[in-house]
Amino acid sequence: MIIACLQVRLNSKRLPNKAIIELNNKPLFMHVIDRINCAKKIEKLVVCTSANKQDLPIIDICKKNNIEYFAGDEDNVMKRYIDAVSKYSPDHILRVTGENACVSFEFMDQAINEHIKRNSKYTTTDDLPRGMRSEVIDFVFLRELHEKLVNPKMSEYMTWYLDRPEKWKVVKIRMPENLKRKNYRVTVDTEMDLKVVKKVYDSLYKGIPIKSDEIIEFLDINQDVVMLNNDIKHRLHDDFRNKVDIRTFEEMEEA
C-alpha cells in the first residue's frame, strides 16, 4: 500500500498562513490535494498537520471536504508521519508539502515505480523545479530510522535526514531535458513565490490540475516571471548544521 502524506502547517514566518491562502478560489493546499489525486499509484491520502490550535483552520477545511487528516507532534514531523499512517501498515509513503501547488503528479507515479523497481529507501529528483518535486520513502525504513536519530525533533527538515546516499539506497531520477529546470522555483515560501505561482495559475488553470510540462513551458516563455523569485536563497543543511543534527546514535559512537 502506498499512502500520500501531505505535510501542512500554518506556522510559516516568511509567509504566514501560506497553506490556506486563496489561489483561484481555493485554499492553496487544496490544489496540492487535487494534484496528488491525479497520481494513479496512490491508494490513500492523509493530511498531516499538528495538534497546535493554530492549525485548526486546516482541520476545518479537511472536515468540510471529507479529507482524512491527522493532527500530531508539532515539531517531530517524522513521528507525525509515522503516527498518521501506522494503522494502515503502508509499504511506502509519498511525501508532499502543502505549499507546493505546482507539484508534479506525473513525477509521483514515475518515482513510485522506480522506487519499488530499484528497492530504494528514499527516491526523489533534483531536476524538477523546486515546488514540483515529491519524495517516496520506504515506510519500515522511516520507522526504524526515526528510532535511531539523535535529534528527530528537527525533522521538519526531513529531506536532509533522508537524502544520504552514503548511508543507504537513495535513487535520484533523471528527468527529460524539457523538464530539467532545477533553478526554477514554484514553491510558496515568500510573497514573491506567491506572485510566481499566481501568474502560473492565472494563465493556465482551467479548473483541473495543470500538467507539469505546461507549467515549465509557461515559465520558459515568461522569463520575467522566473526572475521574480530567482534571488531567493535555498535552505541547505550546511547553513543549519549547528541547529539540525541529522546523525544517528550509531554515527555518534563512531565519531
Extents of the domains making up the chain = 2-177
Say if residues 169 and 153 touch (Cβ distance below 8 Å).
Answer: no
CA separation for the pair 74, 58 (Å, rounded): 14
- Give the per-residue pLDDT at 123: 98
255 residues of the chain, pLDDT tens digit each: 999 999 999 988 889 899 999 999 999 999 999 999 999 999 999 999 999 999 999 999 999 999 999 999 888 999 999 999 999 999 999 999 999 999 999 999 999 999 999 999 999 999 999 999 999 999 999 999 999 988 887 767 789 899 999 999 999 999 999 999 999 999 999 999 999 999 999 999 999 999 999 999 999 999 999 999 998 877 766 666 667 788 877 877 766
Per CATH, the number for 2-177 is 3.90.550.10
Cell numbers that stand for 10 in this block: 500554518
Contacts of 4 (CB under 8 A, 6+ apart): 36, 39, 42, 44, 45, 46, 93, 94, 96, 108
- Give the per-residue pLDDT at 239: 63
Say if residues 250 and 148 touch (Cβ distance below 8 Å).
Answer: yes
